[in-house]
Amino acid sequence: MITVTVNGQPFKIPVAADTPLLWILRDHLKMTGTKFGCGMALCGACTVHVNGEAVRACVTPLSAVEGKRVETIEDIGNTALGKKVQEAWLAEDVVQCGYCQSGQIMSAVALLSKNKNPSDTDIDAAMSGNICRCGTYNRVRAAIKRAAAAPAPVKAKA
């Protein structure tokens, strides 16, 4: 039995240690905001944070996150930065089908947490692992810049 902390809550997971984190989240914890797109870390739809780093949950075995902090799209709006990014996403009317957007937002938050004012090149480097078939890339870029320029919120709502 492996224990993993997801969005601040510890869970004991009774499945094989080689099961990818993605399917732990989706099938066992019923947190379906993290998406399945390729299963090979090629599209970024499954991006989550593990100890603050963006990782592709589809190729991350449960054993690799034992005792670590996993954060998903369901909870990212409870952080100041996550909330700011989500608001920027709304302001730029980014989404179309929306399926890739959980991953886009998780990658964007990870980028902005390390780089408060990313250049276009920085954004390309951080975001090119996230595929969007609707072609919302320019709006994703605009939303990241908007979030970077936005003043820090006074306090994130719980």
Partner 1 sequence: MTNKLTASPARREFLKKSVAATGGLVIGFYLPGAHRIAEAQAQAAKPAPPNAFLRIGKDGSVTVQVKHLEFGQGVMTSLPMLVAEELECEWSKVRAELAPAAPVYAHTMFGMQMTGGSSSVVNSWDQLRTVGAMARTMLVSAAAAKWKVDEKQCRAEKGLVLGPGGRKIAFGAIADAAAALPMPEKVALKDPKLFKLIGQPTKRIDAAAKGNGRAKFGLDLTGDDIPNLHTAVVRRPPIFGAKVKSFDASKVHGIPSVTHVVQTANGVAVVAKNFWAAKKGRDALEVVWDLEPGSKASSTELHASYHQLAQMPGAIAKAGDVEGLKGAAKTVVAEYEMPFLAHAPMEPLNCTVRVSEDRCEMWVGSQFQTFDQGTAATVAGLKPEQVTLHTMLAGGGFGRRANPALDYIGEAVEIAKQVKVPVKTVWTREDDIKGGYYRPMYVHKVTAGLDAGGKVVGWDHVIVGQSILAATPFASMMIKGGIDATSVEGVSDTPYDIPGMRASLHTPSNGVPGLWWRSVGHSHTAFAMECTMDDLAKAAGVDPVEFRRGYLAKQPRVLKVLNTVAEKSGWGKPLPAGRARGVALHESFGTVVAHVAEVSVEGGEIKVHRVVSAIDCGRVVNPLTVVAQVEGAAAFGLSAALYGKVTLKDGVVEQSNFHDYPVLRMNAMPKMEVHIVEGGDRPTGVGEPGTPPIAPAVGNAVFALTGKRLRTLPFRMDEVA
Where does this chain bind partner 1 (CB under 8 A)? 15-16, 19-20, 23, 26-28, 30-40, 42-43, 45, 72-74, 76-77, 86, 89-90, 93-102, 105, 123-125, 127-141
Outline where 1-118 has alpha helix (H): 21-23, 73-76, 80-91, 101-114
Q: How far apart are CA 75 and CA 33, in angstroms?
A: 10
- How many C-beta atoms surround the C-beta of residue 12 within 10 A? 8
CB of 96 to partner 1, least distance (A): 4
- How many C-beta atoms surround the C-beta of residue 104 within 10 A? 28
CB of 17 to partner 1, least distance (A): 12
Of 114 and 133, nearer to partner 1 (C-beta) is 133
Of 117 and 121, nearer to partner 1 (C-beta) is 121
CA 121 to chain centroid, in Å, comes to: 20
CB of 71 to partner 1, least distance (A): 12
CB 117 within 8 A of CB 126: no
CB of 21 to partner 1, least distance (A): 11
